[in-house]
Amino acid sequence: MAEKRSDVDVGRDMDPKKLPKIINAGLNLGLALITAFTEADPDIEMAIESLEIQGWQLVALMIPDEEKDSGAMANARKAWDEAFADIPGLVERIQESWEKSDAQGALEILLEVVDAGLRAAATVAPTEARFINAISNFAKGFGGAVSSFSKEMNLLSSGDSLAQVGDQLGREEWDGAHMNKLLTTSVGLVTTLIAALTEDPPDLRYAIDSFKVQGWQLAKLIVPRTEWRSQLFKKAKKAWDEVWANAAGLAEKTLQAWNDGDVDQVIHVISETVQTGLRAAAHVDTSREKELTAIADLLKGTSESCMELAREIGWLGD
């Protein structure tokens, strides 16, 4: 079934191996922006210029090689650049948000610019619109998931630096590297699932085991190390493990959904298991309910945006 999807749906020389690269490129760009806006004195102009250049490089990864130098793509690039034409004006708008201690608002302005630029590019390059719009939807979905996470955790609303964020979490060592690891682990889980789904037959047991192990690592990333051995956190881990106890049954259930051609059900089963596990842990350790629930929501949003990207460009069936 996986091979059939690759031949029929991908088309136009799209390489399934590019998907993790595209997702990781989007992640790295997002991390760079988050890091820039959590500095004490952010270089806003550099952040915008980086977004203009690296954002288009992300689009270029989506386009078949034989189309990259076409007239339509030249027009699309022009439309994208025009969205960034008034960099001084963008800097001023973002600076106003920053001065109001609204770092999150600054990030949302950039997401709006990205969406406008990509939609304009898709309009003038209709033959490539499917790919460009897919990137736009991914940017909104993943960016929205990260934005929602920061709201739930009160990370960026006050314009704090990452060190100050760590103080809020009770983690003195919190810094850009920890934020990087949090998001890369989230995205890594999703790309593991995508890789499993593109095999024939899919290695769903491996994906499920990865979610069980790495999913809890996410929880540990936002809980101080001094609490890892507390009785409450141990009980939370036990609640998490109990949800994943029947991994073989989960693998069988997801494989049946795959054989039925229901990719959405495969994703739903795994996503719901993660949600259930984290919320069960939060119910046990109420002192960390906010953090564990936020991680559950972040994984859900990340999974949905990445899988939608895979579906829109034909790597996964409808």
The model's confidence at residue 38, banded by pLDDT at 50, 70 and 90, is low
Percent share of the chain, pLDDT over 70: 83
Contacts of 66 (CB under 8 A, 6+ apart): 13
Alpha helices (H) along 63-102: 71-83, 87-99
In contact, 294 and 223? CB cutoff 8 Å: no
Residue-averaged pLDDT of the chain: 79
Give the per-residue pLDDT at 316: 65
Token digits for 285? 């350790």
Rounded to 10 degrees, the C-alpha dihedral 203/205/207/213 comes to -150
Report for 79-93, 135-149, 175-189: range of highest mean pLDDT? 79-93
Q: 252-267 as b/e, with b when 16 or more CB fall inside 10 Å?
A: ebbbebbeeeebeebb
Give the per-residue pLDDT at 155: 64
Rounded to 10 degrees, the C-alpha dihedral 62/51/297/229 comes to 110
Euclidean distance between the first and final Cα of the chain, in Å? 13
Mean pLDDT of 70-76: 90
In contact, 284 and 241? CB cutoff 8 Å: no
The model's confidence at residue 139, banded by pLDDT at 50, 70 and 90, is confident
Lowest mean pLDDT among 1-15, 89-103, 233-247, 279-293: 1-15
pLDDT digits (tens, 9 = 90+) for 223-232: 888 888 899 8
pLDDT surpassing 60 at residue 170: no
Tell me the pTM. Answer: 0.73
Lowest mean pLDDT among 57-66, 105-114, 146-155, 157-166: 157-166
pLDDT surpassing 80 at residue 27: no
Alpha helices (H) along 63-175: 71-83, 87-99, 103-124, 129-153, 162-169
- How much helix, strand and coil, in percent to the nearest 5, is found in the chain? 80, 0, 20
pLDDT surpassing 70 at residue 15: no
pLDDT surpassing 90 at residue 152: no
